[in-house]
């Protein structure tokens, strides 16, 4: 578990300002969604937490420690941040069975074989894939494959789990079930979660708090009920209606 904090974080690509001075704090064990229309900066913010992008200015902290600050010439690389990631683009590997797919982050950390076996089996049980460890990904349904990706994100017991539109390839019914499952797993592991989505139903049904973004700004960062009761402006009101 860990908190995640941005202090005056900016990002620009060759003079184009993408994130404008973002400041927020996500608490230990909290489930927060970044919600907003396409291009508002959700994924860029998440990639900065992951260390897959560098912020142009400001400070990013994880568990109270600064992990990225251009002003202080400080940057902790992704592999040292102890994060789990479930990104749409991080598909599972078709040539590895389920066990090896999930074991991968532990192999990277040179974990012992006995520990790998136990951790992978535990996490597969958790995502209801116990008994399928020998199967190849092509023999699983879309929902099961997404559970494999989730298991891989959780297996190394990360401090923070980052999810970027992880359900967008699934049909509506399965999406609804997976929303509940992800929330349950998050609460079981008491893990801090950041969930990127442009789907307000998803954000409102899963999150402790929602950060609504537009054009690189935070418009509102509050609980679903606070946002529903008091949208800060017409944009938020329209966006959630």
Ligand X SMILES: Nc1ncnc2c1ncn2[C@@H]1O[C@H](COP(=O)(O)OP(=O)(O)OP(=O)(O)O)[C@@H](O)[C@H]1O
Q: Which residues bind ligand X (CB under 6 A)?
A: 13, 18, 36, 38-44, 198
Min CB(42)–ligand X separation in Å: 4
Q: For 184, what's the count of Cα atoms within 13 Å in the CB-facing half-sphere?
A: 10
Copy the structure tokens of residue 31: 């489930």
List the one residue out of 35, 43, 175, 150 whose CA is nearest residue 92: 150
Min CB(19)–ligand X separation in Å: 8
Per DSSP, the three-state class of 19 is strand
Copy the structure tokens of residue 168: 């967008």
Q: Residues 98, 137: contact at Cβ < 8 Å?
A: yes
In the bound state with ligand X, the residue whose beta carbon lies nearer, of 48 and 155, is 48
Min CB(16)–ligand X separation in Å: 6
In the bound state with ligand X, the residue whose beta carbon lies nearer, of 103 and 206, is 206
Q: Is the dihedral of CA 157, 158, 160, 165 positive or negative?
A: negative
> Which letter does DSSP use for residue 179 in this model?
H
Min CB(53)–ligand X separation in Å: 8
Q: For 108, what's the count of Cα atoms within 13 Å in the CB-facing half-sphere?
A: 12
Min CB(216)–ligand X separation in Å: 7
> Which letter does DSSP use for residue 27 in this model?
P
How is 149-162 classified by DSSP, letter by letter?
Answer: HHHHHHTT--SEEE
> Which letter does DSSP use for residue 137 in this model?
G
Per DSSP, the three-state class of 12 is strand
In the bound state with ligand X, the residue whose beta carbon lies nearer, of 125 and 168, is 168
Min CB(148)–ligand X separation in Å: 23
Copy the structure tokens of residue 96: 């590895």
Q: Residues 54, 48: contact at Cβ < 8 Å?
A: yes
In the bound state with ligand X, the residue whose beta carbon lies nearer, of 68 and 133, is 68
In the bound state with ligand X, the residue whose beta carbon lies nearer, of 4 and 98, is 4
In the bound state with ligand X, the residue whose beta carbon lies nearer, of 36 and 84, is 36
In the bound state with ligand X, the residue whose beta carbon lies nearer, of 68 and 101, is 68
Min CB(47)–ligand X separation in Å: 7
């Amino acid at each position: 578990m860990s908190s995640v904090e941005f202090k005056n974080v900016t990002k620009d690509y060759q003079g184009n300002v993408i994130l404008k001075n973002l400041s927020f704090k996500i608490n230990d064990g909290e489930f927060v969604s970044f919600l907003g229309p396409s291009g508002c900066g959700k994924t860029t913010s998440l990639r900065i937490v992951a260390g897959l992008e560098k912020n142009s200015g400001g400070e990013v902290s994880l568990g109270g420690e600064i992990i990225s600050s251009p002003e202080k010439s400080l940057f902790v690389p992704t592999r040292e941040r102890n994060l789990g990631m479930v990104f749409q683009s991080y598909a599972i590997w078709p040539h590895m069975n389920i066990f090896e797919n999930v074991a991968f982050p532990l192999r990277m950390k040179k974990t012992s074989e006995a520990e790998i076996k136990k951790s992978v089996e535990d996490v597969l049980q958790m995502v209801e894939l116990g008994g399928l460890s020998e199967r190849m990904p092509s023999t699983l349904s879309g929902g099961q494959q997404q559970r494999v990706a989730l298991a891989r994100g959780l297996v190394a017991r990360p401090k923070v789990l980052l999810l970027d539109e992880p359900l967008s390839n699934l049909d509506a019914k399965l999406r609804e079930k997976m929303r509940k499952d992800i929330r349950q797993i998050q609460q079981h592991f008491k893990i801090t979660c950041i969930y990127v989505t442009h789907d307000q139903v998803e954000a409102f049904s899963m999150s402790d708090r929602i950060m609504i973004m537009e054009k690189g700004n935070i418009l509102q960062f509050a609980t679903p009920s606070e946002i529903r009761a008091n949208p800060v402006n017409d944009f938020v009101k329209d966006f959630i209606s």
